[in-house]
Each structure stands twice: as C-alpha cells, then as structure tokens.
Structure 1
Amino acid sequence: MDFNFEQLQPCEDPFYDIVPGKGSYPIGRVILPVTFGMPNNYRTEHLTFEVANFKTSYHAIFSKPMLARFMAIPHHTYLVLKVLAPNSVLSIYGDIETSYKCDMEAVQLAEALDYSTKANAMLAEAQKVDKD
C-alpha cells in the first residue's frame, strides 16, 4: 500500500474480539479515501481506520458507522457487501478460503488460551494441596 506511518494520529481506544480473549490497542488512526466500484459506477467516502499490528483475514474491518456512511448492506453468510452507487448496486465479495483459514486460527488460539487458563487454575489448586 506504500503507506507513510508518519500520517498516523494517536489512538488510545482499545477494540475487542478481534484477537480472541484479548483486547487490542491500535498503533494509530488515519483517515483515507475508500472507493468501491468501477470508473463508470463508483462511490467514494473518507473513512477513519484504526491501524493494528496483527494478522487478520481482511486488510480492513469495517464498523457500523462505515456501513451507515456507505448505506451498505452486509450479507455475512455469503461474504458479500452491497453498496448503493449512482448507476446501480455494487457487490463486493470476500474470500471464503482466507476467511475460513483465519477463523480456524482464531479457534485454535481461543482453545490454547482456554487450556492455558485451565492449566494455571489446576497448578494453583495443586500448590494449595501441597501446602496442606
């Protein structure tokens, strides 16, 4: 994307449920123009993005204010985003394979965090028994 990180503005608002079981802090915020469509039928809006330092299946996660600004309708089951444009409705399709891989990684991470929590609890109980 050839992005200049000096454009980032400070951002201290955490977001949740992107990394399972944890809150995350963005490294900054930036306002960028976003265009959907083709030269004969397109729509552009300036959107605020929080820039994160972790891997997801998508390069951007659009929030409810973004959907409202574009008057977009998400179809999560089919990974399609429908957006009104001057000449017709635009359809933006997601990548099912990439989304599936990301979901599997998230499930594995959540399971590992759950196992870690249970192991720590068992260790704490074992230490109590040793003291008694």
Structure 2
Amino acid sequence: MRVYPLGNIELSVTFGDCCNFLTETLIFKVVDFEGSYHTILGRPWYTKFMEVPNYTSLKLKTPELNGVIMVRGSFEQAYASGRKHFELASTIANSVELQKLHQTVTEDASNTNGPTLSSTFHPTEDTKPIGVDPNGPTKTVWIGA
C-alpha cells in the first residue's frame, strides 16, 4: 500500500516520568489511513535520541542524564489492533482483483513455455564455486562467472 502525507504537524512530545523525562518538539507526517500505531518512529528518530526499540517486549528505551527512559506498549492493544488489521489485510487478499492476478500468474506458470516453479535453487551454468573456508572446502559460494 502506498500512502502520501496530507501534511505535517509539529507537536511537543514528552517521554518518561516526573523524575526522568525528555521533551522535544517533533514534526510528524499526517496520513489518511488506519494503522496499528498512532505514529511510527523511524530510524532518524532512533538515531537522534539513541533509542533502542524491542518489538518482542513492546518497549522503547532512551538513555538520558538521570538513567534510561522506558516506554512500554500494551500487549492487549497490540493484539486487538493486529487482529483488526489482519482481517483488513485478509479482505484485501481475498479481493476479486487479487484472485484474478493469482489466476493469471498460475496460468503463466503452468504454460509449457513459461517458468517452472521449484522449491530448490539451481544456479545458472555460468557460475564457479569459490571456497570461503580457509581450513577446508566445507563452505563454498557460487559466483557468476
């Protein structure tokens, strides 16, 4: 899905508690779609504030003068939101247009002149093996000749 911003909004954002906090004025892009999150903090944000996201435990850690600031997510809210968006994605995946595309690809694959589908990798004929293990020929990669 491709989404274009409607504009920008400048907001003052505070992380932490009364003993240890960080307040910054940030510029967010505004988009018109429903998502799992209200905002997405990307690599520029993480770099600027030296933040470390942990998606498994739904935590975001930021080092500050008085210690580490930790923002916690809600597993219940993440599950509910993920479930809702899974259903939306399933609806899109089952759409008529996608079924037509799948049918076209399947027909092309079954065509005798078309590509063959295989679960194994077969290198082209113009390759040569290169040993990457100096202690023996146990590990090799195939490089285009």
TM range (shorter): 0.5 to 0.7
Unaligned runs of 5+ in 2: 105-145
Residue type at the aligned position of 1:112:
T
Please list, as runs of the form range in 1=range in 2, the aligned pairs for 1:1-132 lying within 5 A after superposition. Answer: 22-116=1-95, 117-121=97-101
Identity over aligned pairs, percent: 34
State the AA in 2 paired with 1:24: V
1:40–1:25 CA distance, 2 compared to 1 (3 A): same
Give the TM-score of the pair, scaled to structure 1. Answer: 0.67
Structure of larger gyration radius: 2
> Which deviates more, 81-90 or 106-115?
106-115
Runs of 4+ more than 4 Å apart: 121-124
Q: Cα offset for 1:77?
A: 0.2
Structure richer in helix, relative to its length: 1
How many residues of Structure 1 are paired with residues of Structure 2 in the alignment? Answer: 103
| SS of corresponding position for 2:94 | helix
25-34 or 51-60: which moved more? 51-60
**Per-residue displacement from partner, 1:23-64 (whole Å, max 9, x unpaired)?**
112221122222111232111222220112233333221111
**Aligned AA (2:38):** H
Q: Secondary structure at the match of 2:56?
A: helix
Tell me the C-alpha RMSD between the 2 structures: 2.1
Task: Please tell me the residue identity of whatever aligns with 1:101.
Answer: A
In the alignment, is the contact (CA less than 8 A) between 1:47 and 1:66 conserved in 2? Answer: no
